[in-house]
Amino acid sequence: MRTYYGKIGELEEILISLPFYYCMIKNEFSSVPILDNFYQTSSYFPMPVVLISTISPSGKTNLGPYSLCFPYIIAEKHSMLLISRSNSNTAENIRRAKVCAINFIPYNKKLLKECVLLGYPGETTEEKMKNNKFTLIPSQRTPEEKQENFIYPEIVDEAIQVFECTLDESFPTYNNEVTLESHFVLNIDKILLKNEWKELLYEGKEFPDLPIDFGYRNNINFWFSKHSAPYAEPIPKEKGNSVNTVIYAAQRIDPEVEWTDEACEKLVKVPRIFLKKVLKGCVEIAKEEGIRLITPEFMDKIRDKRAVEKQ
Ligand SMILES: Cc1cc2nc3c(=O)[nH]c(=O)nc-3n(C[C@H](O)[C@H](O)[C@H](O)COP(=O)(O)O)c2cc1C
């Protein structure tokens, strides 16, 4: 026969093992219904926050906040994909004026508040832009980079980087008239970086504070977060780290001089701290000789010339 104390003992045992079962359940997968806007209703999907500037029918710059904006074609052609409500000011302006600028604003609670204010659907450019707190400056395209009869929107001075884009009409724009969803392929014509970040771009040691958006959740709030300091995780040496390192660095020395992979291979043994200097030296010689593509033969020529000079 069980005693009163025995029952307490059993209860204690169950209570003690609860955290164990709880951990087990927490660690298992459960299927979730896939709802419309699944990235924010059925999951956690980290997204960027950009302000897209476009030209309104009256010629005024319109700013619209967007998060579904990602790299699309990344080699040879360079473009972004934007997913927008098909009747937003931004979508209509891109369809009509064919151009836009994607402004990446830094993580800053005040700026993100302003973004949310600019994200209220149904307002005209005039209505929303009269309260705009962002500083607008002219497009940075040079006269040669401008197309005749095109009007370019202003860009946001607070941005860390800006992609000035043109609609790629070789892709038919996806328009769903029922769900009011439009997808635009935007060719990147120009990338602008604030000087501070341009200098650090090739070092790769510091990163700007860009916000992460977890979307408009539960139809109440937008949820933003700041990221922590990125850290480096090198790929193992045996996976060809060294030649890729040289190719990466070589491609960034001078946009007017290109390198073949074989030419880069000739430099894999150069210690990391001297690599940039050596690459710069080769590019200087190439430019003096009017060469635009550095080949292994050209590298051999430099080596032979150096050997003679040393003697
Ligand atoms: C942070 C944030 C991100 C947003 N991302 C998108 C998006 O990716 N696609 C979209 O259609 N609407 C998005 N919205 C809602 C649009 O901003 C909203 O439709 C707004 O009216 C667009 O402005 P516009 O009509 O001037 O283009 C977002 C809003 C905020 C605040």
CA of 66 to the centre of ligand 1 (A): 5
Last residue of a domain, one of 225, 257, 291: 225
In a domain, 75, yes or no: yes
Residue nearest to atom 20 of ligand 1 (CA): 119
- Claim to verify: residue 149 and residue 269 sit in the same structural domain: no
- Claim to verify: residue 144 and residue 112 sit in the same structural domain: yes
In a domain, 208, yes or no: yes
- Claim to verify: residue 195 and residue 170 sit in the same structural domain: yes
Q: Which of 39, 61, 84, 113 to mutate for ligand 1's pocket (most ligand atoms within 8 Å of CB)?
A: 84
pLDDT at 213: 98
66 lines ligand 1 (CB under 6 A): yes
| Alpha helices, DSSP H, located in 233-271 | 241-250, 261-265
| CA–CA gap between residue 207 and residue 192 (Å, rounded) | 16
Residue 170: which domain range? 39-225
- Claim to verify: residue 119 and residue 187 sit in the same structural domain: yes
CA of 103 to the centre of ligand 1 (A): 14
- Claim to verify: residue 276 and residue 183 sit in the same structural domain: no
| pLDDT tens track, the chain, 311 positions | 555 667 778 888 888 888 877 777 788 999 999 999 999 999 999 999 999 999 999 999 999 999 999 999 998 899 999 999 999 999 999 999 999 999 999 999 999 999 999 999 999 999 999 999 999 999 999 999 999 999 999 999 999 999 999 999 999 889 998 999 999 999 999 999 999 999 888 777 899 999 999 999 988 899 999 999 999 887 776 655 578 889 988 988 998 999 999 999 999 888 878 888 999 999 999 999 999 999 999 999 998 888 888 77
Residue nearest to atom 28 of ligand 1 (CA): 66
Cβ(187)–Cβ(165) below 8 Å: yes
Number of domains comprising the chain: 2
Residue 109 CA: distances (Å) to CA of 12, 95, 102, 224: 48, 32, 20, 9
Sign (positive or negative) of CA dihedral 174, 212, 125, 145: negative
